[in-house]
Structure formats: structure tokens, C-alpha cells
């Protein structure tokens, strides 16, 4: 039994259904897709009372509006975007209620790019290869099963009748701790990097782009770092690179100093791991994301560490980054530490709301 609970009235620049992606199909030419910021989707789901992998709406650069067709509990996490219900602001990264007939709007984010809207009860869509994630280029998944992005007039249904009698906000245990930890990390990375005023669309990269702080992205060198000269590897790890406006769910193309190849920019095409940093002949790096092609023929100097993959969802044209190499095992330790921190009661996090910094310490009630 499905009930329509939400009508999209304006999807903004791009809004798609995403879950945590489809795994195990790369050998057939199909990339994982899924939320670019998986932790933000998971947190939005947990805050809304869902399992962390339920489908949500990935909203790119905000400007999204939708009307509730039933009473709803929702949560939004990811980019720091103003949220309003019938014009009344509600906090991002927290659950909120929407009465039937009310309009929810996600505005242009102050920092970050992609916000995730989760609805209690999840979103009904026909899974393709085990996932409802929208893969536009491959015409797979999404609202219609054929990879279509959301558009005005689309009706969103929950798989079961919505919790119309009970709209009390009861997030899953541990949701608040994970939300605060994930928010603190993203604020630390982007709140000062995105010094420009909120924009409604990607600004073209240019020399006059506001110069924020460079964002550190941890990487593990290889698998083809030996295709570069020592000077090339020094350029990669020592210089800053600026994101161009060639940035989408497939990949992020940067500009900056040329990374010198040792023996040409062609390799025999091989598999494309998540976060691969490939360097074509012009010497500028491209980071490959969830909708990447499954194989590629440019050498991959490094791959982004899993602990920082989610941050890539929020880089904007004009942002400067710095690649920070570390070993695979150290990258894993960093991932484990972050995981533990977001689940350990008593840890303190610094977060900023409306320009005021708060130190938040979380305790679980037994």
C-alpha cells in the first residue's frame, strides 16, 4: 500500500532520489551511484526515524520546494541550507514536522552543496539492481526507474501509509551524536572555505573567485603514482588545486599547476576505484565520484581516503584543495577514529549555529 505524501513543486538545479548505492555491478559497467555524502543521508534518515540506508532526496544547491500531501516527519542534513515550513525557519540537521498542505523549502546553502531530505517511512521507488539511486547517464534507478531527476509535479510516496496519527519526533538512538559529529566536521571544512555569499547555482571558477582557506583532502598514493615524475608527485602533494565548474556526480575537474607524467598520460584502461584522482595529459587532476565510468585510461596518481570521500560532495567551483597523502592503514585508522568519535557518548564537538559557536557534548540516556 503506497500513499503519496509529498509533491515536488520546484526541484531546484538538481534533485534526485539516492540511497547508499548499488554494490557489485561494476563488472557489468554500472557504477555505484548513491548519495555523494553518505553520512549526511544516513544522519538525515536516523533523525527522521528511518534505517540509515533508506532512500532520500539529494538536493543540489538548494532552491527546492515541495508540498506535503499528508502529515510528515522529515529531517535534512548535509549542506547548511535554510529550511522553512510555510515560511517558518526550522533547524537543519534536526527532525521537524510538516502538516498536510504545508510547503517545505530548502534554500541556497551557506556552505556545502548537497542537502539530503529524508521522510519518515522512507521513499517508495522501484529498485534497479538493488538500489533506487538515480544514475542519470546510465538511465537507471530514480523516481521512474530510468534515471530521471525529480521535476515539478513529481509525487513522492512512502512505502507504507505515513504515520499520520503519530508525528512525534523520535530519532533513532545515537542519531544526535552522529549528526553533531558529522556537522562539526563539515563546518570545520567548509564554513570558512565558502566565504562567498550563498549562491543559487555553481559560480564559474575564475581568478576573481573569493579565496577561502584550502580544504585538506587525505589520499592514499597509487595505483599508478609510478607514472609520474618525482617533481609531479611533489606538485600533487605540495600545491593547491582549484575546482573548476566541471563538477557533477561523475567527477570534479580541477585547475592548477601541471602534474608531470613520467611516461605519457595513457594507461591500459582499468577499473576505477571510488575517489580515484586521475591525471589526463594536461596534468590537472580529476577526482572520480559515485557516477564515474567503471573503467578509465588515465593514470591514477592517488585515491581519496574513505574518511574524506563524503567531503567531496560539498566542494564548490572556486574552492581550493590540498591533497594530503597517508598510508592505506593510516587512512583506515583515521576512518575508525572518526567512526568511534561519532558514536562515543561524552565527546565534545564545536558547531556554529547562526554565527554563534557552541560546544556540544552528547550523552545517551539509558
Set of cell numbers at residue 318:
572556486
Using the minimum distance from each CB to another protein, give the nearer residue, 101 or 271. 271
Least Å from the CB of residue 105 to another protein? 34
Using the minimum distance from each CB to another protein, give the nearer residue, 21 or 78. 21
Least Å from the CB of residue 53 to another protein? 13
**Residue 247: how many other CB atoms lie within 10 Å:** 22
Neighbouring-strand partners of residue 360:
349
Dihedral angle, C-alpha 40, 46, 52, 57, nearest 10 °: -60
Using the minimum distance from each CB to another protein, give the nearer residue, 274 or 283. 274
Residue with cell 599547476: 257
Alpha carbon distance 167, 244 (integer Å): 43
Phi-psi region of 19 (alpha: psi -120 to 50; beta: other; left: phi over 0): beta
Using the minimum distance from each CB to another protein, give the nearer residue, 198 or 274. 274
Alpha carbon distance 88, 219 (integer Å): 42
Using the minimum distance from each CB to another protein, give the nearer residue, 26 or 353. 26
Alpha carbon distance 161, 358 (integer Å): 38
Alpha carbon distance 1, 161 (integer Å): 7
DSSP code string of 149-174 = PP-TTPEEEESS----S-----PPTT
Using the minimum distance from each CB to another protein, give the nearer residue, 48 or 304. 304
Least Å from the CB of residue 338 to another protein? 11
Residue with cell 587512512: 331
Residues at the interface with another protein (CB under 8 A)? 23-30, 128-129, 138-140, 219-224, 268-276, 293-295, 300, 303-307, 328-329, 331-332, 335, 339
Alpha carbon distance 318, 181 (integer Å): 26
Set of cell numbers at residue 121:
517511512
Least Å from the CB of residue 180 to another protein? 21
Least Å from the CB of residue 21 to another protein? 10
Using the minimum distance from each CB to another protein, give the nearer residue, 308 or 319. 308
Least Å from the CB of residue 26 to another protein? 5
Phi-psi region of 130 (alpha: psi -120 to 50; beta: other; left: phi over 0): left
Least Å from the CB of residue 222 to another protein? 5
Using the minimum distance from each CB to another protein, give the nearer residue, 27 or 153. 27
Least Å from the CB of residue 168 to another protein? 31
Amino acid at each position: 500500500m503506497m500513499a503519496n505524501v509529498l509533491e515536488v513543486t520546484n526541484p531546484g538545479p538538481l534533485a534526485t532520489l539516492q540511497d547508499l548505492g548499488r554494490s557489485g555491478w561494476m563488472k557489468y559497467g554500472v557504477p555505484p551511484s548513491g548519495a555523494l555524502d553518505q553520512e549526511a543521508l544516513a544522519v538525515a534518515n536516523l533523525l527522521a526515524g528511518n534505517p540509515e540506508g533508506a532512500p532520500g532526496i539529494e538536493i543540489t544547491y538548494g532552491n527546492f520546494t515541495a508540498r506535503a500531501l499528508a502529515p510528515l516527519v522529515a529531517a535534512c542534513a548535509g549542506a547548511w541550507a535554510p529550511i522553512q515550513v510555510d515560511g517558518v525557519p526550522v533547524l537543519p540537521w534536526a527532525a521537524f514536522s510538516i502538516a498536510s498542505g504545508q510547503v517545505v523549502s530548502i534554500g541556497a546553502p551557506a556552505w556545502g552543496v548537497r542537502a539530503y531530505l529524508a521522510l519518515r517511512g522512507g521513499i517508495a521507488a522501484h529498485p534497479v539492481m538493488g538500489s533506487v539511486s538515480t544514475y542519470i547517464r546510465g538511465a537507471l534507478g530514480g523516481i521512474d526507474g530510468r534515471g530521471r531527476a525529480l521535476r515539478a509535479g513529481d509525487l513522492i510516496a512512502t512505502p507504507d501509509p505515513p504515520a499520520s496519527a503519530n508525528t512525534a519526533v523520535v530519532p533513532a538512538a545515537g542519531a544526535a551524536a552522529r549528526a553533531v559529529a558529522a556537522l562539526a566536521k563539515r563546518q570545520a571544512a567548509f564554513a570558512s572555505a565558502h566565504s562567498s555569499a550563498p549562491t543559487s547555482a555553481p559560480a564559474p571558477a575564475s581568478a576573481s573567485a573569493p579565496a577561502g582557506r584550502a580544504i585538506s583532502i587525505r589520499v592514499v598514493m597509487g595505483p599508478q603514482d609510478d607514472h609520474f615524475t618525482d617533481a609531479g608527485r611533489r606538485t600533487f602533494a605540495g600545491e593547491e588545486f582549484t575546482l573548476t565548474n566541471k563538477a557533477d556526480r561523475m567527477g570534479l575537474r580541477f585547475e592548477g599547476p601541471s602534474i608531470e607524467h613520467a611516461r605519457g598520460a595513457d594507461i591500459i584502461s582499468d577499473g576505477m576505484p571510488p575517489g580515484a584522482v586521475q591525471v589526463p595529459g594536461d596534468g590537472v587532476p580529476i577526482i572520480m565520484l559515485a557516477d564515474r565510468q567503471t573503467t578509465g585510461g588515465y593514470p591514477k596518481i592517488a585515491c581519496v581516503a574513505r574518511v574524506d570521500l563524503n567531503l567531496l560532495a560539498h566542494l564548490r567551483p572556486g574552492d581550493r584543495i590540498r591533497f594530503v597523502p597517508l598510508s592505506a592503514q593510516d587512512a583506515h585508522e583515521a576512518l575508525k577514529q572518526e567512526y568511534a568519535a561519532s558514536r562515543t557518548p561524552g565527546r565534545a564537538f564545536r558547531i556554529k549555529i547562526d554565527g554563534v559557536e557552541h560546544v556540544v557534548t552528547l550523552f545517551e540516556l539509558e
